[in-house]
């Protein structure tokens, strides 16, 4: 009898594993969401059971409109990635139900699968997020956002009635009417809004792309910061409600993902107030406080994220890329001064496309490294190549 039960358990586990998918991670080791995918909630210290057999210990669990994603909290020594991770598509989920915890066991969420007569996964929550997951999963299952992802835009046969300028105007009018209808329906109540979350993200992205294109056409490369302001950037922001007790950790990881791709065009560094402005603009209505941003930045080092939080001797706080080098920047400044003879802070700021605050810090660091020296006169402060060192 024991052998028969063990065989059935192995067969059930094999059937469940066939439904699981690999997970792609961002540079900060958060799950990479596909276009239109929205994160609903997050839980930490989650165990995974294949039916009644414990398979995975102590992991982080994400619920999106498309998937259940689980990442082990244990890391590989070399790559720092989770030792195990998987995603279960919600299209393979029939329903979910709650199972109460006993004296020493945690409350569980039973996820009933479409394959097999009695196949299910149990998620054991030790941080008290079981009910939140249950409510959000039922909402996601009703919304069935993954169907909209598969269907894509409807293809229509060509017709001469839709050709020419008049046809273009008609199509634009229909797009605007459809978008307005989606917004009106989505904001009727919270459930409708969550059900249409993916469509709202796509609509916001289209608006952001249009704004960014207009800004680039208008200003070119003269003001990259303003172009970035037109970029909404974060379709599924981390919130206290979704992340719970791990809010600042998840916020730090999302901030790292957001800033890493932008630091290259900003000289590898950005002041904390500027980063706060960009990040909150990208989050839309889900704004975060200065204290939350500061607390998140202070976790960069312990979480081993690809960006660094730094404080200059002048008390200026910045976020910089991990591969940013003061010496390389000093060499770049020295090369520019070599061509011009001397430079002021404003001139260098305009030439490098950096803020005056950051330019001042770079000049001070280059001076500290003995690459340049200063001359204070009635004409103001100017910096020269240090010929004693760089002759």
Confidence at 216, pLDDT banded by 50, 70, 90: low
State the Cα–Cα distance between residues 207 and 346, nearest whole angstrom. 35
Task: Tell me if residue 280 falls in helix, strand or coil.
Answer: helix
State percent of the chain over pLDDT 90. Answer: 36
The string of pLDDT tens digits covering residues 99-122 is 887 767 788 999 999 887 788 999
DSSP string, 193-252: HHHTHHHHHHHHHHHHHHHHHHHHHHHTTS-HHHHHHT----SS---HHHHGGGHHHHHH
- Closest by CA to 20, choosing from 84, 109, 122, 89, is 89
Q: Residue 240's pLDDT is what?
A: 81
Distances (CA, A) of 265 to 232, 260, 274, 281: 17, 10, 14, 18
DSSP 3-58: HHHHHHHHHHHHHHHTT-B---B-TTSPBPPPTT--EEEEEEEEEEEETTEEEEEE
Residue 221 has pLDDT above 50, yes or no: no
Report the C-alpha gap between 307 and 118 in whole angstroms.
Answer: 46
**How confident is the model over 2-11, as pLDDT tens digits?**
444 455 556 5
pLDDT digits (tens, 9 = 90+) for 357-385: 889 999 999 999 999 999 998 888 999 99
pLDDT band at 163, cuts 50/70/90?
low
8 Å CB contact between 319 and 269? yes
CB atoms within 10 A of CB 306: 17
Taking residue 376's Cβ as centre, other Cβ atoms within 10 Å add up to 8
The per-residue pLDDT for range 118-138, each reduced to its tens digit, is: 889 999 988 778 899 999 999
Of 48, 53, 70, 65, the closest CA to residue 125 belongs to 48
Residue 229 banded pLDDT, cuts 50, 70, 90: very low
Give one word for 315, left, alpha or beta, with left for phi > 0 and alpha for psi -120 to 50.
left
Q: What is the b/e burial string over 114-151, where b = at least 16 CB atoms within 10 angstroms of the residue's CB?
A: eeeeebbbbbbbbeebbebbbebbebbbebebbeebee
The CA distance from 23 to 86, in Å, is 6
- Model confidence band, residue 230 (pLDDT cutoffs 50, 70, 90): very low
- pLDDT confidence of residue 313: 85
User: At 166, which helix (H) or strand (E)?
Assistant: helix 164-186
Between 161 and 222, where is the model more confident? 161
* pLDDT band (50, 70, 90) for residue 388: confident
Residues 327-349 have a mean pLDDT of: 91
On average, the pLDDT of the chain sits at 80
pLDDT (0 to 100) of residue 2? 45
Inter-residue contact 115 to 53 (CB < 8 Å):
no
pLDDT (tens digit, 9 = 90+) per residue, 240-265? 877 877 889 999 999 999 998 888 87
Query: Rounded to an integer, what is the distance from CA 264 to the centroid of its chain?
Result: 17
Residue 28 has pLDDT above 60, yes or no: yes
pLDDT at residue 281, rounded to an integer: 85
- Report the percentage of the chain scoring pLDDT > 70: 74
Residue 92 has pLDDT above 90, yes or no: yes
Domains of the chain: 1-146 (2.30.29.30), 238-321 (1.10.10.10), 326-385 (1.10.10.10)
H or E element in which residue 185 lies:
helix 164-186
Q: Could you give the C-alpha distances from 115 to 20, 68, 134, in angstroms and in order?
A: 12, 16, 20
């Amino acid at each position: 009898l024991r052998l028969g039960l063990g065989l059935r358990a192995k067969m059930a586990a094999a059937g469940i594993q066939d439904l699981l998918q690999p997970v792609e991670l961002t540079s900060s080791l958060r799950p990479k969401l596909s276009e239109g995918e929205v994160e609903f909630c997050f839980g930490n210290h989650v165990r995974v059971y294949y039916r009644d057999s414990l398979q995975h210990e102590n992991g982080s669990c994400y619920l999106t409109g498309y998937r259940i994603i689980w990442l082990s909290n244990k890391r590989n020594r070399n790559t720092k990635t989770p030792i195990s991770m998987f995603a279960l598509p919600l299209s393979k989920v029939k329903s979910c139900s709650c199972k109460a915890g006993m004296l020493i066991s945690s409350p569980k969420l039973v996820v009933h699968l479409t394959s097999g007569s009695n196949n299910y996964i149990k998620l054991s929550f030790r941080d008290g997020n079981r009910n939140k997951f249950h409510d959000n999963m039922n909402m996601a299952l009703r919304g069935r956002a993954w169907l909209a992802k598969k269907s894509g835009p409807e293809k229509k046969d060509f017709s001469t009635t839709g050709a020419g300028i008049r046809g273009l105007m008609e199509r634009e009018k229909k797009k605007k009417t459809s978008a307005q209808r989606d917004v009106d329906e989505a904001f009727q109540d919270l459930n409708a809004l969550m059900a249409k979350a993916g469509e709202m993200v796509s609509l916001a992205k289209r608006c952001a792309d249009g704004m960014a294109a207009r800004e680039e056409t208008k200003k070119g490369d003269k003001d990259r910061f303003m172009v970035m302001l037109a970029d909404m950037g974060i379709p599924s922001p981390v919130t206290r409600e979704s992340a719970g007790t791990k809010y600042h950790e998840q916020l730090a990881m999302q901030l790292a993902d957001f800033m890493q791709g932008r630091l290259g065009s900003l000289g590898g560094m950005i002041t904390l107030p500027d980063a706060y402005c960009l990040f909150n603009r990208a989050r839309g209505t889900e704004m975060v406080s200065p204290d939350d941003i500061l607390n998140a930045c202070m976790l960069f080092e312990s979480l081993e994220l690809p960006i660094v939080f730094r404080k200059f001797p002048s008390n200026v706080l910045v976020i910089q890329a991990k591969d940013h080098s003061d010496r390389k920047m000093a060499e770049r400044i020295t090369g520019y001064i070599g061509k011009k003879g001397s430079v002021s802070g404003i001139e260098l700021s305009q030439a490098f496309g950096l803020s005056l605050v950051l330019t001042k810090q770079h000049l001070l660091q280059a001076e500290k490294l003995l690459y340049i020296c200063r001359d204070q006169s009635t004409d103001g402060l100017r910096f020269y190549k240090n010929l004693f060192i760089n002759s």
